[in-house]
Structure 1
Amino acid sequence: MSLDELLQHAMRIHDLYDQLNRHERGRVWTREEFMLGFVGDVGDLAKLVMAEEGARDVPGGRAALEHELADCLWSVLILAHRYDVDLEASFRRTMADLETTISTRLPGGPKPL
């Protein structure tokens, strides 16, 4: 599945959440509320990673870890959309910058990947 297909699917779920929230609460989540939800998901992910590494006991096992990773990806896709960020272009640009930065710090200078 391409990034665009992931975003389209994420937006379908986003729209369903908007419908549900309008029905149950009379309003939709703001961008700030999406971010707070993401922070909560990252916290849950941290606990599941610790469990995967044997540092915590958390129910759900591998399936819960996979679910939380998918939730976090969904949140990133939605936040990028809500802030009108071209995530693919931003990712490519950021990875190129990191590659250059890291490569120049390695002994012997930049190495092609």
Structure 2
Amino acid sequence: MSLDELLQQAMRVHDRYDRLNMQERGRVWTREEFMLGFVGDVGDLAKLVMAEEGAREVPGGRAELEHELADCLWSVLVLAHRYDVDLEAAFRRTMAELDAAISSRLPNSEEPT
């Protein structure tokens, strides 16, 4: 599945949440509220990673870790869309910048495999 296909699916689910929130609460989440929801998901993800590493007990195991990673990806895709960010271009640009910065600090003999 391409990034564009992931984004389309993420926005379909987001739009359904908006419809549900409008029906049940008479309003949709603002971008700020959506971001706060994402922060909560990242906190949940942190606990699940700790559980995966044996540092704590969290019910759900690996399936919950996979779910939360996908949930966080969904949030990133929606936030990028709602802030009109071309995520693919931003990702490529950022990875090139990071690669150059890291490569400049490594000895020339160390090439990626």
Structure 1 residue runs of 4 or more that deviate by more than 4 Å after TM superposition:
109-113
What pairs with 1:1-113 in structure 2 (closer than 5 Å)?
1-108=1-108, 111=111
- Percent identical: 82
Alignment-mate amino acid for residue 87 of structure 1:
L
The CA deviation at 1:15 is 0.5
**Counterpart Cα distance in 1 of 2:56 and 2:92:** 35
The CA deviation at 1:88 is 0.2
The CA deviation at 1:34 is 0.7
Aligned residues: 113
**Counterpart Cα distance in 2 of 1:97 and 1:105:** 13
Relative to the length of structure 1, the TM-score reads 0.96
What whole-Å deviation, never above 9, does each CA across 1:19-47 have from its counterpart, x for those lacking one? 00000000000000010000000000000
Superposition CA RMSD, Å: 1.4
Alignment-mate amino acid for residue 60 of structure 2:
G
Relative to the length of structure 2, the TM-score reads 0.96
The CA deviation at 1:110 is 8.1
Q: Secondary structure at the match of 1:21?
A: helix
The CA deviation at 1:107 is 1.6
**Counterpart Cα distance in 2 of 1:112 and 1:49:** 27
Structure ranking higher on relative contact order (CA contacts 8 Å, 6+ apart): 2
Where structure 1 has 5 or more consecutive residues not aligned to the other structure, the ranges are none
Alignment-mate amino acid for residue 67 of structure 1:
H
Alignment-mate amino acid for residue 47 of structure 2:
K
Check conservation: 1:45, 1:68, Cα contact below 8 A.
yes
Q: Secondary structure at the match of 2:29?
A: coil
